[in-house]
Amino acid sequence: MKIFNDYNLGSLKLKNRIVMAPMCMYMAEDGLANDFHNIHYGNRALGEVGLIIVEATAVTKSGMITDKDLGIWSDDQIKGHKNITDIIKKYGSKAAIQLGHAGRKCSVKGLTTVAPSAIRYSEDYPVPKEMEIEDIKRIVQEFKDSARRSVDAGYEFIEIHGAHGYLLHEFLSPLTNQRKDSYGGDTKNRVRLIKEVISAVKSVVPKDFPVGIRISASDYKEGGIDIDEMIKIIDLIKEDLDIIHVSSGGLVEDQEIDVYPGYQVRFSEEIKNKCNVDTMAVGLITTLEEAEEIIGNDRADLVSLGRVLIRNPYIILNEDKEKVKSVSAYKRGFLK
């Protein structure tokens, strides 16, 4: 099966094409990792997943989605992350982290919610503070500092979270970004913050250290981002990225979306072909046969599995022995 072929993500060699998608577990306290995270991610490494992307991790306390999110805004949080990366790598997988900021979708009471414009997500959320230039500069610095901590913690790939209606996505979409300054207006201006964040992250990671981004290819709402504009966005940022993790939606509560198995793969395929970039496909992909179709037909370079890995962390090991005889678990005697 082609999904068991290795793959070079920048300078990082993956043993197969299966990725664990970042999924919020809401099990942290004060942003600190604990035994749950070690067991949770360690199990997927035992299951031979090639790359494990640790859940959305807040670059600042006010950037948490909930008060149970992982964080990496403090040096005190490095040790917990180092425990995660140690166990992932001990069992043969590669360790990645997704750095994010919730923006107007922060639900933590008592924290100041910020966004490009003072437009709230829904009636259940407060009206966010419209960010001033000083706030934007601070956010860029927070991504930079968190990237440095990520390297210190042993992560081997950083994914910047630019999807699902969180802060960077909010800057990208005209539905949530109604600024009149250099960070709003046309596509080039709305991309400005993401370009600054990418540059800041790249400035503190080792040479050839892979960096990618997760994007929402469509807002599923009139007036928002569609695949044609996302292609223009990718063309503006692709030079400094190793891969594009192609998701969709999440910006508005009343999105007009039709969900079905593999519903986002078409976006990955179009971005891969039209932007000439490597992509990671995700979205209700639940079997290795589906993943094989995607890789075999060159619709993506990697396949990101989500909830199926919660239900079945050993999906690779449960495949027919003849199809997985090259994986290290087979050599360790897990399969006989």
Encode pLDDT of 181-219 as tens digits. 999 999 999 999 999 999 999 999 999 999 999 999 999
Reported as type and span, the H/E element at residue 238 is: none
Output the pLDDT for position 318. 85
298 located within any domain:
yes
Give the chain's radius of gyration (CA, Å). 19
21 located within any domain:
yes
Contact by Cβ (8 Å): 177, 225: no
Q: Helical H runs in 131-279?
A: 133-152, 167-172, 187-190, 192-202, 227-237, 265-275
124 located within any domain:
yes
336 located within any domain:
no
pTM over 0.75? The answer is yes
Question: What CATH number did the domain enclosing 151 receive?
Answer: 3.20.20.70
107 located within any domain:
yes
269 located within any domain:
yes
Total domains in the chain come to 1
- Residue closest to 172 by CA, chosen among 111, 231, 212, 90: 231
Could you state, in chain order, the average pLDDT of each consecutive group of 10 residues for the chain (336 residues)? 95 97 97 98 96 98 97 98 98 97 97 97 96 98 98 98 98 98 98 98 97 98 97 98 98 92 96 98 96 97 97 88 62 61
305 located within any domain:
yes
Q: Write out the two tokens for 74.
A: 């403090």
Q: For residue 176, what are the domain limits?
A: 2-331
| Torsion angle of the four alpha carbons 9, 12, 15, 17, in this order, in degrees rounded to the nearest 10 | -20
